[in-house]
Amino acid sequence: MSIHDKDELALFGGAPVRSVPFPPHPVIGDAEKQAVMEVLDSGRLSSFIAAPGVFFLGGERIKELERRFAEAHGVAHAVSFNSATAALHAAVVAVGVQPGDEVIVPPYTFTSTATCALMQNAVPVFADIEADYYCLDPAAAEAAITGLTRALVPVHLFGQPADIHAVVDLARRRGVKVIEDCAQAPFATVGDRRVGTFGDCGIFSFTESKTMTTGEGGMLITDDPEIARIAQMVRNHGEMIVEGQKSRSYRTDFLGWNYRMTEMEAALGIVQLGRLPELNETRVRLADHLSKGLADLPGLAPPALRPGSQHVYYVYPFTFDEDAAGCPRADFVRAMAAEGIPLGAGYVAPLYMSPIYQDRAAAAFRHYEGSARYDKGLCPVTERMYEREVVLTGVARAPATEADMDDIVAAAAKVLGQAHRLG
Ligand SMILES: Cc1ncc(COP(=O)(O)O)c(C=O)c1O
């Protein structure tokens, strides 16, 4: 055997299936560069002074990005932020969550889906996910509702829409609000509507890894003028800086922060928003190709697709069955890395296992009178996905091609063909 031996696993010294890295992301083209340069040349870098007497509502590009984003979703208001975390925080305040309240979230998501409640001195209550789609299980959410529940935060995870009609129905029946976390799923659809338009508001992330990026950035959309008003005030130190109303800066009405986006970010965002349909189409095409290739391999199952919805594959998840594959997931992932295919095992640990919940390390817990629990075993489906079943790849996106996806399939076939030698 030599390093040129293609049949030998790279883990054991054979030639890897792939020796070049996958193409880098994001793709920043001439249009993005020109848009940002125009802002730099203008010298108006944040320009929250739009016109005499109109302060802190955003410069020209911010206004344009908000207008286009609202139009793209058919909603009345889009409020830009410097991250989705900031938008989540503002959303929690704007829908009326009070200190001591509970907010129901899935534990299989990014940390700030849950910590946004703690930011308002409210407490996250974790409800399990659906085994097939990995999103908040409406039945589990219903079981978690108490007299303290004020809001539900379904997450359209990995780009797959949550069971949003069931979540919204539940919320309406029980008199609680819905904040859709669309950070990973801009332009994913349920029926003919884009995610973010079903709940009381929806939030989006434009951080570097996301499907459209502004470097860092976020957006909140809503049809509710009161949610839009409060979100704008949270964005701006709790001052009365609200579209269409007389500005009143230097007077703080309630606690707010500086969550404002810059003009450079907005300029980038306008171009990226225009490219989003094409960027999503590439993800879907590559994901479909990958699903076809992986479907016949032992122990791997491509992602289930919710009928009537469009997944946009922020990442591509598949499930791993250790018995059928013939080796532990960790060994599969290690062998694939040696073949030049980077994969993630499990996504994030169930959020309730983090020290902040285990140690009740947030001010919110000092005054909390409910009985939220964070014990291991709380959400068994999430724990199973994290510990044993879910595998992710983030490389099925532009500018990668079908040939790049074929390398993933070839490496998986090679590794699984010798799975008995692993573990
Ligand atoms: C589901 C989800 N929610 C919220 C966020 C927070 O986004 P941001 O990094 O823009 O604050 C992320 C980002 O990773 C996310 O994936």
Could you give the CA distance from residue 50 to residue 63 in angstroms, rounded to a whole number?
9
Does any ligand 1 atom lie closer than 6 A to the CB of residue 109?
Answer: yes
Identify residue 333 by its one-letter amino acid code. V
Candidates 175, 171, 259; CA nearest to 220 is 259
CA 204 to centroid of ligand 1, rounded, Å? 8
Does any ligand 1 atom lie closer than 6 A to the CB of residue 120?
Answer: no
Burial profile 253-279: b = 16 or more Cβ within 10 angstroms, e = fewer: eeebbebbbbbbbbbbbbbbbebbeeb
Does any ligand 1 atom lie closer than 6 A to the CB of residue 83?
Answer: yes
Angle, vertex CA 139, rays to CA 138 and CA 140, nearest 5 = 90
CA 206 to centroid of ligand 1, rounded, Å? 8
Does any ligand 1 atom lie closer than 6 A to the CB of residue 183?
Answer: yes
CA 182 to centroid of ligand 1, rounded, Å? 9
CA 91 to centroid of ligand 1, rounded, Å? 14
CA 326 to centroid of ligand 1, rounded, Å? 35
Residue 158: other Cβ atoms inside 10 A: 25
Does any ligand 1 atom lie closer than 6 A to the CB of residue 85?
Answer: yes
Could you give the CA distance from residue 320 to residue 53 in angstroms, rounded to a whole number?
59
Could you give the CA distance from residue 369 to residue 273 in angstroms, rounded to a whole number?
44
DSSP string, 200-238: SEEEEE-BTTSSS--BS-EEEEES-HHHHHHHHHHHBTT
**Which atom of ligand 1 is nearest to 156's Cα?**
1
**Residue 36 and residue 43 in contact, taking contact as beta carbons nearer than 8 Å:** no
Q: How far is CA 422 from CA 170, 392, 408, in A?
A: 46, 20, 18
Does any ligand 1 atom lie closer than 6 A to the CB of residue 155?
Answer: yes
- The domain segmentation of the chain, as residue ranges, is 39-262
- Cis preceding linkage at 342, omega within 30: no
Could you give the CA distance from residue 152 to residue 150 in angstroms, rounded to a whole number?
7
**Residue 90 and residue 230 in contact, taking contact as beta carbons nearer than 8 Å:** yes
Could you give the CA distance from residue 355 to residue 128 in angstroms, rounded to a whole number?
19
pLDDT at position 257: 97
Residue 11: other Cβ atoms inside 10 A: 18
Does any ligand 1 atom lie closer than 6 A to the CB of residue 184?
Answer: yes
CATH number of 39-262, picked from 3.40.50.720, 3.10.20.740, 3.40.640.10, 3.30.300.180? 3.40.640.10
Could you give the CA distance from residue 353 to residue 314 in angstroms, rounded to a whole number?
25
**Residue 58 and residue 66 in contact, taking contact as beta carbons nearer than 8 Å:** yes
CA 85 to centroid of ligand 1, rounded, Å? 6
- Give, for ligand 1, the residue of 82, 112, 116, 160 to mutate: max count of ligand atoms closer than 8 Å to Cβ: 112
**Residue 12 and residue 248 in contact, taking contact as beta carbons nearer than 8 Å:** no
| Tokens at 274, concatenated | 């225009």
Across the chain, which has 423 residues, the per-10-residue mean pLDDT values are 74 96 94 97 78 68 96 98 98 98 98 98 98 98 98 98 98 98 98 98 98 98 97 92 77 93 97 98 98 96 97 98 97 98 97 98 96 98 97 96 98 97 88
CA 211 to centroid of ligand 1, rounded, Å? 12
Does any ligand 1 atom lie closer than 6 A to the CB of residue 162?
Answer: no
CA 88 to centroid of ligand 1, rounded, Å? 9
CA 7 to centroid of ligand 1, rounded, Å? 40
Candidates 222, 209, 166; CA nearest to 344 is 209
CA 83 to centroid of ligand 1, rounded, Å? 8
**Which atom of ligand 1 is nearest to 85's Cα?**
11
pLDDT at position 248: 73
The conformation of residue 123, written as its DSSP 8-state character, comes to E
User: With the CA atoms of 279, 281, 284 and 286 taken in that order, what torsion angle do they form, in degrees rounded to the nearest 10?
Assistant: -70
**Which atom of ligand 1 is nearest to 216's Cα?**
10
Could you give the CA distance from residue 51 to residue 274 in angstroms, rounded to a whole number?
27
Does any ligand 1 atom lie closer than 6 A to the CB of residue 354?
Answer: no
CA 30 to centroid of ligand 1, rounded, Å? 27
- Give, for ligand 1, the residue of 92, 116, 135, 207 to mutate: max count of ligand atoms closer than 8 Å to Cβ: 207
Handedness of CA 290, 296, 297, 302 (dihedral sign): positive
pLDDT at position 53: 60
Could you give the CA distance from residue 261 to residue 164 in angstroms, rounded to a whole number?
29
* pLDDT tens, residue by residue, 362-385: 999 998 999 999 999 999 999 999
For residue 17, the Cα-to-chain-centroid distance in whole angstroms is: 31
- Cis preceding linkage at 380, omega within 30: no
* pLDDT tens, residue by residue, 112-159: 999 999 999 999 999 999 999 999 999 999 999 999 999 999 999 999
Q: How far is CA 285 from CA 260, 276, 281, 408, in A?
A: 35, 14, 6, 15
Does any ligand 1 atom lie closer than 6 A to the CB of residue 110?
Answer: yes
Terminal Cα distance for the chain, rounded: 21
pLDDT at position 269: 98
Q: Cα-flanking dihedrals φ and ψ of residue 60, to 5°? A: -55, -45
For residue 83, the Cα-to-chain-centroid distance in whole angstroms is: 12
**Residue 242 and residue 79 in contact, taking contact as beta carbons nearer than 8 Å:** no
Residue with the smallest CA separation from ligand 1 atom 8 is 84
Could you give the CA distance from residue 89 to residue 98 in angstroms, rounded to a whole number?
12
| E strand or H helix at 35 | helix 30-42
Quick one: three-class SS letters along 330-382? HHHHHHHHHCCCCCEECCCCCHHHCHHHHCCCCHHHHHCCCCCCCCCCCCHHH
**Residue 280 and residue 212 in contact, taking contact as beta carbons nearer than 8 Å:** no
CA 84 to centroid of ligand 1, rounded, Å? 6
Does any ligand 1 atom lie closer than 6 A to the CB of residue 382?
Answer: no
